[in-house]
Amino acid sequence: MAAPSRDFTAPTVQFLTPEGELRPTPEAEGYLPLVEALPDAALEQFYRDMVVSRRVDVTGANLQRQGQLALWVPSHGQEAAQVGSARAARPQDHVFPSYREHVVGMIRGLDPVAILKLLRGATLGGWDPAENGNFHLYTLVLASQTLHATGYAMGLQFDGATATGDPEADAAVLVYYGDGSTSQGDANEALVFASSYNTPQVFFVQNNQWAISVPVSRQSRSPLSLRGGGFGMPGIRIDGNDVLASYAVTRQALEEARAGEGPSFIEAVTYRMGAHTTADDPTKYRTDDEVAYWTARDPITRFRAWLEGRGASAGFFAGVDEEAADIAADVRTRALEITAPPRSDIFAHVYSEPHPLVEAQAAWLEEYENSFEGGRA
């Protein structure tokens, strides 16, 4: 009797080659109508989103180096995975990010300065999801948000807010996490609950190859997409640097979720071109050759080449660059204006109802600070 195979492979959905040619893989064929249905304006928006995102990312990293932020979390290289999936969601959908999904937030209507407020140490949150396209708060404990997303999706079911047959009203949940997070217990429990309750939900894993300094091979011996099937849902591997693949596959999975067909698991194979955070030094654990390999697969370069081939004008690209520069400059200006919150924020909202201990400590601190000559603001 032969031993079971230890070879694991998973086909990849890809439309655009790294050179920017539209050449769908066999797995992508079924999604082609979704791509063909995209108007030029949508394609231009994808490009604009990616370029603006990268420019804001550079701004964030620079602000950190200049001592204006405690930390920056680069998204450089992951623009296609994020833009395609985010543009696939509908306004009524709920998005639960990890902490690197800056452009997803911007697409949902979030002012990136809100993210800088968090990374500048002025807040533990930064925005109200209800007023920012249902884009929930960043979660720093890895994979915690996968369970919140699943519970939220269960709530949508309880409310009858999904699977009614009305695509304009039916809602789904899109949750982002990374290859490192897939090893967390919570990420696996979320897949169990989602599958068990058949939630309207898409798990979107950006496999950027590195969890700080540890390669994805330490998290999984097989393609992460294979995990979907083990939990009872489709697992689909996409070229995460192909914005069309990211859009089409997420779009399809969200439509199925809204229609009551259950959750899906998407692995977007991409690359973190920058450091994990600005506190990291990737030269200590990865090679120049590897970075060069992925540089040749840059998501913006290939999409631009394809758009150029379709006849997009030089003026369009110049206009986008100008727009991105303006947005980044504005973000930088306003980031520098972020001020420290009042000390009452230490105590506010720890409880939503009166709590004698916290109230007494708030009063004490106020009195203590005011006991100094002139008081401390």
Q: Which is nearer to another protein, 128 or 369 (CB)?
A: 128
Q: Which residue in 33, 125, 230, 319 binds another protein (CB under 8 A)?
A: 125
Q: Which is nearer to another protein, 9 or 344 (CB)?
A: 344
Minimum gap (Å) between residue 249 Cβ and another protein = 24
Q: Which residue in 285, 351, 364, 368 binds another protein (CB under 8 A)?
A: 351
Interface segment toward another protein; rule CB under 8 A; list 67-75, 128-136, 162-170, 270-278:
128-136
The answer for residues whose C-beta is within 8 angstroms of residue 158's C-beta and 6 or more apart is none
- Distances in Å between the Cα of 329 and the Cα atoms of 319, 347, 353 are 15, 34, 41
Q: Which residue in 42, 124, 212, 336 binds another protein (CB under 8 A)?
A: 124
Q: Which residue in 1, 41, 141, 292 binds another protein (CB under 8 A)?
A: 141
**Is the Cβ–Cβ distance between 370 and 376 less than 8 Å?**
yes
Q: Which is nearer to another protein, 18 or 178 (CB)?
A: 178
Q: Nearest 5°: CA angle at 222, between 251 and 101?
A: 40
Q: Which residue in 7, 314, 349, 367 binds another protein (CB under 8 A)?
A: 349
Burial of 130 (0-12, 13-18, 19+ CB in 10 A): exposed
Is position 111 an interface residue for another protein (rule: CB under 8 A)? no
Interface segment toward another protein; rule CB under 8 A; list 34-42, 137-145, 211-219, 290-298:
137-145
Residue in 70, 77, 152 with CA at minimum distance from that of residue 116: 70
Q: Which residue in 1, 3, 41, 130 binds another protein (CB under 8 A)?
A: 130
Residue 333 tokens read as 């200006």
Q: Which is nearer to another protein, 329 or 360 (CB)?
A: 360
Minimum gap (Å) between residue 185 Cβ and another protein = 6
**Is the Cβ–Cβ distance between 143 and 184 less than 8 Å?**
yes
Q: Give the x-and-dash track for 143-172 against another protein (CB under 8 A).
A: -x-xxxxxxxxxxx-xx-------------
Minimum gap (Å) between residue 189 Cβ and another protein = 4
Minimum gap (Å) between residue 34 Cβ and another protein = 28
Cα dihedral: 160, 137, 272, 44 (round 10) = 60
**Is the Cβ–Cβ distance between 233 and 185 less than 8 Å?**
no
Is position 189 an interface residue for another protein (rule: CB under 8 A)? yes
Helix (H) or strand (E) holding 266: strand 264-269
Size of the site for another protein (CB under 8 A): 41
Look up tokens 């990737």; give the residue: 282
Minimum gap (Å) between residue 258 Cβ and another protein = 16
Q: For residue 135, which amino acid is it?
A: F
Q: Which is nearer to another protein, 55 or 117 (CB)?
A: 117
Minimum gap (Å) between residue 173 Cβ and another protein = 8
Instruction: For the chain, report the end-to-end CA distance as a whole number of angstroms.
Output: 78
**Is the Cβ–Cβ distance between 126 and 114 less than 8 Å?**
yes
Is position 119 an interface residue for another protein (rule: CB under 8 A)? no
Interhelix angle 299-309/79-88, rounded to 10 degrees, is 70
Q: Which is nearer to another protein, 116 or 249 (CB)?
A: 116
Q: What is the distance between the alpha carbons of residues 225 and 273, in angstroms, rounded to a whole number?
A: 22
Q: Determine phi and psi for 370, rounding to 5 degrees.
A: -75, -10
Q: Give the x-and-dash track for 261-300 against another protein (CB under 8 A).
A: ----------------------------------------
Q: What is the distance between the alpha carbons of residues 343 and 362, in angstroms, rounded to a whole number?
A: 9
Residues near another protein, by CB under 8 A: 123-125, 128-130, 136-137, 139, 141, 144, 146-156, 158-159, 185-186, 189-190, 192-193, 196, 348-353, 355-358
